[in-house]
Structure 1
């Protein structure tokens, strides 16, 4: 047994063991170091010197012991971040951290991580990853290091001042009116009304797959987005919508509602609107079928999200306001909608001005 306050113990092998605090973990608990000796007085002297040494270096107590970037990223994701994000976002973060951050910087102690290390990471991956992905990786690392700084584990955030490639936002692919007409005719002919529903409600792919007949109100002419299909750890799972704003009521045009009435009679109206045998349709099947349809009529670059973009564009062309469109799309706010569709409002303004005619001439 140790003498009170000394942390020196006699081991079973006959040696004396001294324990001292060499740092603090993320939760404030001490990280211990150990020394050994054949004599009690030998260990006590070494322990006294070490305690004096660490007392003179208070910063050492604030640094996360010998904690590595890998250990801190794991704690930051699991304890500080996971309770506040969705499962899909969690697995996306986990994959990005493991693949791009830990694989390169994982063994580095967070107290020794330097901006040059992070800049080298960015430079080494800019030829293999898109600018958008590099910005995502940097954002993750910066957030984790900010949390470490706030907890006193590091003196400065090493992610500040990192040079990143310019992230140019791509203009979303939108069907022209002629292209939309061709796709609609083909979809009706093939009985693929799921794509018409997307074109006239703006549903996301996961929301379409999770749609149940109980979510469709034929009396009011609306459908209710109450769930979405997600891929979590490689498996398709139906859960809550992407966010609180994603849970919404969406009006359905009368001609699309008429097609749904026909379908409900054909399928019996149980379970999922576009599923079979009581099971929801898979997202991959939905995508593959659309690809086959568009390829058959000569349309290129059309994906499921293209239908959503087209819906939003047609709404703006018909003077639906940005706030209303934001609600229809399930965005968190009009600023998000404007970010994606600012080009549409600009085109509308120019088209409107071109219609003006001189009064005096």
Structure 2
């Protein structure tokens, strides 16, 4: 195992191996050089000298750039990111850089930015943010720096070799059957909370529910299509931070899907359609209801019946858990949820297999 922050490893033959970036292929892919020795200190010293020599020689070929990290990031986002991604992705990248990176490192000259600066930032973020959030922020910064390397503004990416915190596996919060029945009893006669019914019976994400239109529902074949999502993203208006509602296509090919609906849900949808004056299933007069309002309505109900620890997203987990309990296989459930892979489904719902695992173990007979 390498010592923290260093690419120096102990080999099986007893020698130490040091690795450094030697250059890049025409495709931009990095290739490495290696240094070997029987003493860690020797390899470390040679590695320092090699990196220094490479930095010195490479600097002669760097393009002159006097801009700050703030200037380069703005150019990178507007030139290389915004034209290729959805508004929501661009807003997410920009927000991560503005709030967590540029507020601390933005005034440093791009070509003066050091790995130690990134490590200091990382340590600060580790104190206040979740590991998954830190990894996500550093991923955006690393992509930003990679483009600077590709354009010969930097000799190497200062994020390379940074040791990231280990992301904790998310624990699924799903309602028990008892709590689910309590929730349904509370909302069953009020169309205002129909978004909760949809989440429990289809596993749709909150933005997918808000984006659902009547044209997406095939009452003849008892299916509904997930064709768009509604979300609120941060924007700037004359320098003032604001947010706006946007409607976008699903985030991936798997997210765009068709879901079968039960006879009971079909009846409820037909009843709601008779009263609706909007193109959207969940609406505020003629417009789509925004996710924030849907989440607030659920918050009111969960507090009323003592389910404070659950979020609206828990309803999606509850749907998946009920599918598992009914004997559904992972591939089918993964498809219904719009996950990118069955591995993602397994990672999310490992804890939900406990009852099935218990039943399996109880069936085993051991010979003493």
Shorter chain as denominator, the TM-score bin is 0.7 to 0.9
Q: Secondary structure at the match of 1:310?
A: helix
State the match for 1:358 in structure 2: 365
**Residue deviations 1:207-260, cap 9 Å, x none?**
111111111111111111111102133111222122222111111111111111
Q: Secondary structure at the match of 2:224?
A: strand
Counting only pairs closer than 5 Å after superposition, residues 144-293 of structure 1 correspond to structure 2 as: 144-191=144-191, 192-232=193-233, 233=235, 234-267=243-276, 270-293=278-301
Separation (CA, whole Å) in 2 of partners of 1:97 and 1:296: 39
Please say if residues 212 and 282 of structure 2, whose CA atoms lie closer than 8 Å, have aligned partners that are also in contact.
Answer: yes
Number of matched pairs: 304
C-alpha spacing 1:247/1:101, structure 2 compared with 1 (3 Å) = same
Offset of residue 73 of structure 1:
1.7
C-alpha spacing 1:146/1:189, structure 2 compared with 1 (3 Å) = same
Please say if residues 212 and 280 of structure 2, whose CA atoms lie closer than 8 Å, have aligned partners that are also in contact.
Answer: yes
Separation (CA, whole Å) in 2 of partners of 1:134 and 1:216: 39
Q: Secondary structure at the match of 1:302?
A: coil
Separation (CA, whole Å) in 2 of partners of 1:128 and 1:188: 40
**Residue deviations 1:154-195, cap 9 Å, x none?**
222211232333321230211111111111111103332321
C-alpha spacing 1:297/1:331, structure 2 compared with 1 (3 Å) = same
State the match for 1:312 in structure 2: 320
Offset of residue 309 of structure 1:
1.0
Separation (CA, whole Å) in 2 of partners of 1:124 and 1:358: 53
Offset of residue 324 of structure 1:
1.8
Separation (CA, whole Å) in 1 of partners of 2:366 and 2:73: 66
Unaligned runs of 5+ in 2: 1-55, 236-242
Is the counterpart of residue 303 in structure 1 residue 311 in structure 2?
Answer: yes
Please say if residues 201 and 311 of structure 1, whose CA atoms lie closer than 8 Å, have aligned partners that are also in contact.
Answer: yes
Q: Secondary structure at the match of 1:62?
A: coil
Separation (CA, whole Å) in 1 of partners of 2:57 and 2:166: 42
Counting only pairs closer than 5 Å after superposition, residues 316-335 of structure 1 correspond to structure 2 as: 316-335=324-343
**Residue deviations 1:316-342, cap 9 Å, x none?**
222222222222111222222223223
Q: Secondary structure at the match of 2:288?
A: coil
**Residue deviations 1:22-70, cap 9 Å, x none?**
xxxxxxxxxxxxxxxxxxxxxxxxxxxxxxxxxx977344244213212
In our comparison, the structure showing a higher alpha carbon Rg is: 1
C-alpha spacing 1:83/1:333, structure 2 compared with 1 (3 Å) = farther
Deviates more, 1:285-294 or 1:68-77: 68-77
Please say if residues 146 and 157 of structure 1, whose CA atoms lie closer than 8 Å, have aligned partners that are also in contact.
Answer: yes
Separation (CA, whole Å) in 1 of partners of 2:152 and 2:66: 14
Please say if residues 207 and 228 of structure 1, whose CA atoms lie closer than 8 Å, have aligned partners that are also in contact.
Answer: yes
Please say if residues 69 and 105 of structure 1, whose CA atoms lie closer than 8 Å, have aligned partners that are also in contact.
Answer: yes
C-alpha spacing 1:83/1:349, structure 2 compared with 1 (3 Å) = farther
Please say if residues 64 and 110 of structure 1, whose CA atoms lie closer than 8 Å, have aligned partners that are also in contact.
Answer: no
TM-score, normalised to structure 1's length? 0.78
TM-score, normalised to structure 2's length? 0.76
State the match for 2:30 in structure 1: none
Counting only pairs closer than 5 Å after superposition, residues 48-87 of structure 1 correspond to structure 2 as: 59-87=59-87
Please say if residues 202 and 261 of structure 2, whose CA atoms lie closer than 8 Å, have aligned partners that are also in contact.
Answer: yes
Separation (CA, whole Å) in 2 of partners of 1:288 and 1:58: 56
Offset of residue 294 of structure 1:
1.3
- Give the ranges of 4+ consecutive aligned residues of structure 1 lying more than 4 Å apart after TM superposition: none
Separation (CA, whole Å) in 2 of partners of 1:134 and 1:58: 31
**Residue deviations 1:50-109, cap 9 Å, x none?**
xxxxxx977344244213212222232222233332211210110111112112212222
